[in-house]
């Protein structure tokens, strides 16, 4: 269980790292969304391994194929099925991990939960699964673009290197201008240097991805449990290696007094209602208030390091495991499109959920 | 929508702050769980307003009544319906908020989303709704106790006052020994003083609640979307005033190298598998690994302050709003049983979900 | 599990026949639906025991109380909680069934499934639970009335007595003009006589309820699994004692050739599209086509008869069970409002589901 | 929406008649079920067009490919993704239906619901989608076989030709011995002759499929809404062309008295509890009672006939439509494996749902 996300714009993913292929079904995409494989492919390419020197050098083309739900360039309202066949699923030698539990990986927990596991490349626990999410997220983004809603994420921290500027102080058009996807060029260079250095040390390091949703209307979110930020939080925490989520003022807001923290309402000259500040992060009472929605996601250092580590095998015997092959020294640059995709899926879902909220807005 | 939580141990809550009553239905509680109103009431009393000088002095008896699903002291497997009637729903004078949007409250978003709202005491957006969660959580706790699984939460930060000790360094049996529910007496006294001082300033302040789940078996969590920590995260973020969630090493773990962060597996003398360290927070790949599960939840300062604030009304006119009546200067001490309840609900749900995972463990 | 119905207009019921009370929560009722206890009560009175000589003479006032989700006479968009307290839950003597399995009742299956049961009056398996459905159905009807959608059911068969006229040939305004709720007075009298005779024989008898939904727009139904008739079928089969469901030409249509069965499309003078005949029952491909939706539901004879029956007890010993108290000789007249309620819930749910189907009809 | 079925053994299908391909994802299949493409293929071949002279002569290889969720011959507990690529999706000339609404087809309703449609071969409304169900159903059957639960369906009526024998009087091992899948050879021959004659008349005809589930344990079904027969009913009614469902005594049972209809409980010599008769159809109170579960499904005559029919086009103009190509004169023989598949999916789902019902049967 647990392989579906969303209620109205609902995705279901399948696929292992080294099986025949991955895929995703979207059930509930409205009819009329322009869908083309080129756009989806472009998004997949942002997540693809081997895209830069600071990502894994593994080769996966990640070629998406739409099997259904699209006719003459637009969605038809029927489920959209997409697959990404694995190009190189040939069994390399996995004997080194077939029976070993790698530290801080999911080997042990999958083995115990299911009584067995597809150990090749981590199987289902591999972040390769997120390719399916990005394919679905691309379609959600297309739907949101129709309403001028935009989702942008960027790297705001790598190890101890923290981007101190808020998103308002940054030029988000610069996100894609460097390989680490940090809109501040100077900090980006430092981040890249740190990741490169970490790679040379055969180690890995953590980071933070920040995201902003602009253009979302007032009213998204379904209290009391499906508050918009609770859904965003779940979405982000469902991404491999995620360890924390905060929105608006987040953990730092804790230290403030209410009189400092509250966002005052103001009416602008066009009669629109806004808040002077936005410590609420665009969400009040679990419902979007029309301001920018922003949040941060913490990612731990990747568990696969190119060093020997002491561990145990399925029989409890001591073994030494060692990272082989090509792995990411830091996931955050590739996590950017994944964070965006999950955010787009949440917003799209809630936009659809919101359609039936008021009797006076329901149409036959 | 959005008023149900859980898949197998599924709760649905209803009720407004000043309507006739609140309630909750549990659908999926297994038959055979000992259920008594006394235990539920005791948990409700931990959340109750007026329990100490640092909580709101409002008077609500929060008397729970079980209407169904329990026979001769145990759950029958049919839905458990519980209600808590509001004792004092008489319409006090709410004219000061009927048409005004209080800063950082849900007044504006509810008004826009639903086209109207029950403004009395915040209506559905009031934290009063969490009483229903605590009633349900008490039954989840009872079920978990059958398996020696324990959920404990405590206050670890109030404003800038931070408990630096980890949960392993604390004596969790002391949580209830002071009114702020911080197991370190010295820090607790400082926290109480700060909250009291904040109250006298007619202001409010934020805080952090930490929680530990001990005794959970290996195998809970349903990747890829319903990872155990993603579900816990959503549960916590669905609590009023929550702004952030992190588990295990959390946001701080970001700065570490993989070689520092990884938890080494070891076999203990009984052949049990454990990890030497627990930066994973008891969850690997989204599945519990048998270690303690621990996490932190950030709560913002309560929006209702006893000061005049500039705001606007439903027609966009400038108004002054001012907190009236009795409110919490800091929610964290009352949030402790709510955090525990939501955690117990998540663990109970996943324990039930886990029952059908392996063919060799399925029985007719 | 299994105590919720619907996706967007979603109800959850709780309560046993002789517990403290019953209830229902509606999550997803749009804001703005006029809701008053009087109308709900009137619907409950149509289902109430003791309403006529051909129903059980048990006394239950079935007084509904709305606890939440309604403010100043209209729904607010938050969950609507309603309860019906059991007036006479005092334990009469149930020793005759506490350990016996009554033939064709749910005693045995509940006992085996849950390992125990609340045997008083059948507990959760009693049709008393349907009072909660009727309360929720009344609100669904109110919502549908806003769109001039009407649900009407009537008794079309009692035992072998079958109303041969189709719904188009009947005057449905006459349904409530007799106690059996058959719009043909002559047949109604025969039915009443048969039920009365059956009651005197201390026996019970089956029947069929027919229903018509008029005014439903084109487009309701969510293929491939949630076809409108599949949802109606499930809804009807979930009612106590239901044994079969058919819509449109139903089982009889099987014997026809396609050339006889197909419904020809025609354009009326206003440009509206209709079908000349309606063997499709208003549903094509699982989606409503704008014609009347009609279907039939078979109800078996009630299992409780006022005669001695051989059976066994929980230990497998032979026992004699005998119906005691006051029971319905035939359920169909009281099933009419239940069928209507379930149909209204399905239509309301699908009307809301339909709101997010087309990009060009989605609004911010 | 509406393209998923089941809660724990949950399938999601996608694919149009003439798109690139079809597929299905199973989320929740327990780890450890033996899965091989050969078995699935054999089941697909029972549904395949062109298998006999009484089915459509269209050529579709229906070659299934498993993409994920299976490792070394058994399910791993992760989602099983399967695809069936369409071999001949080249656009034949569909101009005759691109703008016309074929009588009693889904052309009109899809067009209105979604504002557009993939008209090639009926698109998503084509019964081709059921190939995906059969692939999933094959895995459900494999899981049930582990518990000696068997699902068998057969043709019991074609047009007016009705098999009068009950399933107990038939030799179900003979179902596959003739092309119409009726276990009574004599009646089968009559049915085949009638279908063949209908085909020559360029017409179509309806029929009934009966099904029996043997070996199901006591306890399956989740009242009050998800009663086992309600779920079976929905499953069956979701199959293309289905018009009715009845279980046990069904519509005929209506005419009986309770004293005739009730099934007496008896204890067999091994202490097992059974019922003397089985008018309950193996389900009491919505829960399986250990007896054979049996039911009947009505299928209307296929709407596509090889004759000219008057209809209208999307602009409301009168047009003549005429069936072209190769179509089934009667669907029931090919519906047999579909009915079995849907029944297997329901039983598998409820077997998994049942695992968490009793505290004393829950394991860590």
Tell whether residue C300 is among the known ligand binding residues. Answer: yes
Residue B322: exposure state from Cβ atoms within 10 A (0-12, 13-18, ≥19) = middle
CA distances (Å), origin D86, targets C233, D59, D128, D269: 32, 10, 10, 55
Closest CB from D2, D110, D229 relative to C237: D229
What token pair was written down for C95? 């020793």
C272, burial (CB in 10 Å: exposed 0-12, middle 13-18, buried 19+): exposed
Kindly list the residues of chain A whose beta carbon comes within 8 Å of any beta carbon in chain D: 1-4, 8, 10, 12-16, 19-23, 25, 27-28, 31-32, 65-69, 71, 74, 76-81, 83, 85, 113-118, 123-124
Q: Which residues contact residue C95 at a Cβ distance below 8 angstroms, ignoring those fewer than 6 apart?
A: none
The beta strand positions in chain C, using DSSP E, are 4-5, 10-14, 21-27, 64-66, 70-71, 74-75, 80-85, 100-101, 150-158, 161-162, 207-214, 242-247, 265-267, 273-275, 283-284, 287-288, 293-299, 308-313, 318-322
Q: Closest partner residue to D256 among C110, C273, C301, by Cβ?
A: C301
The pLDDT of residue C87 is 85
Taking the alpha carbons at both ends of chain D, their separation in whole angstroms is 35
Residues of C with Cβ-Cβ distance to B6 under 8 angstroms? none
Contact B286, A106 (CB under 8 A): yes
Question: Model pTM?
Answer: 0.98
Q: Tell me, what's the pLDDT at C143?
A: 98
* Chain D residues touching B360 at Cβ < 8 A: 32
Q: What are phi and psi of D41, to 5 degrees?
A: -60, -40
Query: Which of helix, strand or coil describes residue A157?
Result: strand
Mean pLDDT of B171-185: 97
Q: What is the DSSP string of D47-95?
A: H-TTSSTTS--------EEE-SSEETTEE-SS-EEEEEE-S--S----H
Do C282 and C276 touch, CB atoms closer than 8 A?
Answer: no
B356 and D361 in contact by Cβ < 8 A? Answer: no
Q: Rounded to an integer, what distance in angstroms lies between the CA atom of residue A249 and that of residue A277? A: 11
Q: Are D20 and A82 spatial neighbours (Cβ–Cβ below 8 Å)?
A: no
**Tokens representing residue B146 in the block:** 């059958």
pLDDT band for position C277 (50/70/90)?
A: very high
Which chain A residues touch D66 with a CB distance below 8 Å? Answer: 20
User: CB–CB of D31 and B357 under 8 A?
Assistant: yes
The helix (run of H) or strand (run of E) holding residue B297 is strand B293-299
Percentage above 90 pLDDT, chain A: 88
pLDDT at residue B95, as a whole number: 72
| Residue linked to tokens 């197998």 | B8
pLDDT in tens, C106-127: 999 999 999 988 999 899 999 9
pLDDT tens column, A64-112: 999 999 999 999 999 999 999 998 656 566 777 789 999 999 999 999 9
Give the pLDDT of residue A94. 77
Q: Which of B185-189, B322-326, B327-331 has the highest mean pLDDT?
A: B185-189
**Most C-contacting residue of B15, B79, B136 (CB-CB within 10 A), to test interface:** B79
By CB atoms closer than 10 A (0-12, 13-18, 19+), residue B316 is middle
Q: Is the pLDDT of residue A150 over 90?
A: yes
For position D66, what pLDDT does the model report?
98
pLDDT at A111: 96
**pLDDT at residue A248 is higher than 80:** yes
Burial C57-85 (b: 16+ CB within 10 A, else e): eeebebebbbbbbbbeebbbbbbbbbbbb
Q: Is the pLDDT of residue A156 over 70?
A: yes
Q: Tell me which residue has tokens 């019953």.
A: C22
Q: Min CA distance, C209 vs chain D (Å)?
A: 11
CB contact under 8 A, C312 and D267: yes
Q: Can you give the pLDDT at residue A88?
A: 65
Give the residue-averaged pLDDT of A139-143: 98
Show residues of chain D in contact with A12, CB under 8 Å: 4, 12, 25, 27, 79
Model confidence at C89, pLDDT cuts 50, 70, 90, reads low
Q: What is the DSSP string of D235-280?
A: HHHTSTTEEEEEETTGGGGGGSBHHHH---EEE-TTS-EEESS-TT
D111 burial (CB, 10 Å; 0-12 / 13-18 / 19+) is middle
Question: Which of B32, B75, B357 lies at the smallest CB-CB distance from D77?
Answer: B357
The verdict on domain B4-361 having CATH code 3.40.50.300 is no
Superfamily of domain D4-357: Chorismate synthase AroC (3.60.150.10)
Residue A320, Cβ density class (10 Å: 0-12 exposed, 13-18 middle, ≥19 buried): exposed
User: Over its length of 364 residues, how does chain D's per-residue pLDDT go in tens digits?
Assistant: 999 999 999 999 999 999 999 999 999 999 999 999 999 999 999 999 888 888 877 777 899 999 999 999 999 999 999 999 998 656 566 777 789 999 999 999 999 999 988 999 899 999 999 999 999 999 999 999 999 999 999 999 999 999 999 999 999 999 999 999 999 999 999 999 999 999 999 999 999 999 999 999 999 999 999 999 999 999 999 999 999 999 999 999 999 999 999 999 999 988 899 999 999 999 999 999 999 999 999 999 999 999 999 999 999 999 999 877 778 999 999 999 999 999 999 999 999 999 999 999 999 8
Q: Do B10 and C27 touch (CB under 8 A)?
A: no
On chain C, the residues whose CB falls within 8 A of the CB of D219 are 109, 112-113
| Chain A residues within an 8 Å CB radius of C287 | none
Q: Which stretches of A14-73 are DSSP H helices? A: 37-47
Which of chain C's residues have a Cβ under 8 Å away from the Cβ of B20?
65-68
Contact at CB, C114 and B67, closer than 8 angstroms: no
Widest CA span of chain C, in angstroms? 71
Higher-pLDDT residue of A271, B151: B151
Which pLDDT score, from 0 to 100, does residue B89 have?
A: 57
Q: Could you give the CA distance from residue B170 to residue B191 in angstroms, rounded to a whole number? A: 16
Q: How far does B110 lie from chain C, in Å, by closest CA?
A: 9
Q: Whole-angstrom Cα distance, residue D198 to residue A85? A: 45
Interface contact D244-C250, CB threshold 8 A:
yes
> Which residues on C lie below 8 Å from D271 (Cβ)?
316
- How far is the alpha carbon of C69 from chain B, nearest alpha carbon, in Å? 7
CB pairs under 8 A between B and D: 65
**pLDDT for the residue A289:** 98
Portion of chain A with pLDDT greater than 70, in percent? 98
C14 to B79: CB separation less than 8 angstroms, yes or no: yes
Tokens of D7: 């809660």
ipTM of the assembly?
Answer: 0.97
* D298 vs C109, C254, C286: nearest CB: C254
Q: What is the pLDDT of residues A161-215, one digit of tens each?
A: 999 999 999 999 999 999 999 999 999 999 999 999 999 999 999 999 999 999 9
Return the partners of chain C (3 or more C-beta pairs < 8 Å).
Answer: A, B, D
Picking from A150, A359, A361 by the largest number of C CB atoms within 10 A of its own CB, the best residue to mutate is A359
Residue B114, pLDDT above cutoff 60? yes
- A98 three-class SS: helix
Cβ neighbours, 10 Å, residue D246: 28
Measured distance CA(D349)–CA(D347) in Å, rounded: 5
Name the residue in chain C with its Cα closest to that of A362.
C355
Judged by CB atoms closer than 8 Å, whether chains meet at A224 and B354 is answered as: no
Domain ranges of chain C: 4-361
Main-chain phi, psi angles of C28, to 5 degrees: 110, 0
> pLDDT tens digits for B39-91?
999 999 999 988 888 887 777 789 999 999 999 999 999 999 999 999 865 65
- Residue D259's closest CA among C160, C323, C53? C323
Q: Is residue B122 within 8 Å of residue B105, measured between CB atoms?
A: yes
User: What's the burial of B255, exposed, middle or buried (CB within 10 Å: 0-12/13-18/19+)?
Assistant: buried
Backbone angles phi, psi at C243, to 5 degrees: -125, -10
Q: Which chains touch D (3 or more CB pairs under 8 A)?
A: A, B, C
Tokens of B253: 């773990």
Interface of B with C (CB under 8 A): 1-4, 8, 10, 12-16, 19-23, 25, 27-28, 31-32, 65-69, 71, 74, 76-81, 83, 85, 113-118, 123-124
Say what the pLDDT of residue B92 is.
66
Residue D201: count of CB within 10 angstroms of its CB: 16
Residue B93 CB partners (closer than 8 Å, separation 6+): none
C185: left (phi over 0), alpha (psi -120 to 50) or beta: alpha
Which other chains touch chain A, taking contact as 3+ CB pairs less than 8 Å apart? B, C, D
Question: How far A98 CA sits from the closest chain C CA (Å)?
Answer: 39
Q: What is the residue-averaged pLDDT of chain C? A: 95
Is residue B287 pLDDT above 70, yes or no? yes
Interatomic CA distance for residues A335 and A337, integer angstroms: 6
Comparing alpha-carbon positions, the chain A residue that sits nearest to C356 is A352
Cα–Cα distance measured from residue C192 to residue C182, given in angstroms and rounded to the nearest whole number: 10
Name the residue in chain C with its Cα closest to that of B2: C27
pLDDT given at position B327 = 82
Neighbours of D314 (CB within 10 A): 16
Q: What is the pLDDT at residue B336? A: 98
């Amino acid at each position: 269980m647990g392989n579906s996300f969303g209620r109205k714009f609902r995705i279901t993913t399948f696929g292992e790292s080294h099986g025949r292929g991955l895929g995703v079904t979207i059930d509930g995409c409205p009819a009329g969304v322009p869908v083309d494989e080129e756009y989806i492919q472009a998004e997949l390419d942002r997540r693809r391994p081997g895209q830069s020197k600071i990502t894994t050098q593994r080769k996966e083309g990640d070629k998406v194929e739409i099997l259904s739900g699209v006719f003459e360039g637009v969605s038809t309202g029927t489920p959209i099925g997409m697959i990404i066949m694995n190009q190189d699923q040939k069994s390399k030698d996995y004997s080194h991990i077939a029976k070993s539990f790698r530290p801080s990986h999911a080997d042990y927990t999958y083995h115990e939960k299911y009584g067995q596991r597809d150990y090749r490349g981590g199987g289902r626990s591999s972040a390769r699964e997120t390719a399916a999410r990005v394919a679905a997220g691309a379609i959600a983004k297309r739907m949101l673009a129709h309403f001028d809603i935009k989702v942008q994420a960027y790297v705001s921290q790598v190890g101890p290197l923290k981007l101190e500027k808020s998103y308002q102080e940054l030029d988000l058009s610069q996100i894609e201008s460097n390989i680490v996807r940090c809109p501040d060029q100077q900090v980006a260079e430092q981040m890249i240097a740190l990741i490169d250095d970490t790679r040379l040390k055969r180690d890995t390091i953590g980071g933070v991805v920040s995201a902003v949703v602009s253009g979302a209307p007032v009213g998204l979110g379904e209290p009391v449990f499906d508050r918009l930020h609770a859904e965003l939080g779940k979405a982000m925490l469902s991404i491999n290696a995620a360890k924390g989520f905060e929105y608006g003022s987040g953990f730092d807001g804790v230290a403030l007094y209410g009189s400092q923290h509250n966002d005052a309402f103001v009416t602008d000259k066009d009669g629109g209602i806004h808040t002077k500040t936005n410590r609420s992060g665009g969400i009040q009472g679990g419902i979007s208030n029309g301001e920018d929605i922003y949040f941060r996601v913490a990612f731990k250092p990747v568990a696969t390091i190119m060093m020997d580590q002491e561990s145990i095998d399925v029989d409890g015997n001591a073994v030494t495991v060692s990272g082989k092959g090509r792995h990411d020294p830091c996931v955050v640059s590739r996590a950017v499109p994944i964070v965006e995709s999950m955010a787009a899926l949440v917003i799209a879902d809630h936009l659809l959920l919101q359609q039936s909220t008021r009797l006076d807005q329901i149409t036959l």
